[in-house]
Amino acid sequence: MLLVYFIKVNLCLVLLCLLFQVLMYRDTFFGVRRLMLWGIYLTAFLLPLWNMQGWLSGDATTNGLAEAYATYVLPTLDVTASRVASFGIEQSEPGCGMWFVGTMLLWALIYAIPVVVLTVRFLWQIAYILYLRCTCARENIFGQRVYRYPRQCSPFSFGAWIFMHTDEIDEQALREVIVHEQTHVRQWHTVDILLSEMVCIIFWWNPAAWVMRREVRMNLEFMADKAVSDYLTSSTASHDSTLKAYQYHLLGFSTQMNVATISNNFNVLPLKRRIIMMNSRRTRRTGMVKYAVFVPVAALMLLLCNVD
**pLDDT tens digits, one per residue of 274-300:** 888 888 888 888 778 888 888 888 888
* Region 67-77 average pLDDT: 66
* Region 235-240 average pLDDT: 63
Q: Which residue, 203, 278, 280, is CA-closest to 242? A: 278
| Max avg pLDDT among 46-55, 161-170, 214-223 | 214-223
- Checking if the pLDDT of 269 tops 70, the result is no
Identify the pLDDT of residue 16: 92
Identify the pLDDT of residue 197: 96
Confidence of residue 117 (pLDDT cuts 50, 70, 90): very high
Q: Of 30-39, 40-49, 59-68, 117-126, which range is least confident?
A: 59-68
- Checking if the pLDDT of 78 tops 70, the result is no
Identify the pLDDT of residue 258: 80
For the segment 19-37, what is each residue's pLDDT rounded down to a tens digit? 999 888 888 899 999 999 9
Rounded to an integer, what distance in angstroms lies between the CA atom of residue 184 and that of residue 187? 6
User: What's the distance, Cα to Cα, between the start and end of the chain in Å?
Assistant: 13
The secondary structure element, H or E, covering residue 15 is helix 2-24
* Residue 294: how many other CB atoms lie within 10 Å: 18
CB 31 within 8 A of CB 54: no
Single pTM value for the model: 0.83
* Region 134-159 average pLDDT: 90
* Region 145-172 average pLDDT: 89
Rounded to an integer, what distance in angstroms lies between the CA atom of residue 23 and that of residue 294? 10
Beta bridge partner(s), residue 156: 163, 265
* Region 204-214 average pLDDT: 95
- Neighbouring C-alpha atoms within 13 Å toward the C-beta of 297: 20
Identify the pLDDT of residue 86: 54
Q: Which residue has the higher pLDDT, 251 or 13?
A: 13
Identify the pLDDT of residue 14: 93
Confidence of residue 265 (pLDDT cuts 50, 70, 90): confident
What value does the mean pLDDT of the chain take?
Answer: 83
In total, the chain counts a number of residues equal to 308
Identify the pLDDT of residue 58: 60
Identify the pLDDT of residue 118: 96
Identify the pLDDT of residue 126: 95
- Checking if the pLDDT of 55 tops 70, the result is no
Q: Which residue, 291, 277, 262, is CA-closest to 189? A: 262
Q: Which residue has the higher pLDDT, 11 or 54?
A: 11
- Checking if the pLDDT of 13 tops 90, the result is yes
Q: Which residue has the higher pLDDT, 132 or 65?
A: 132
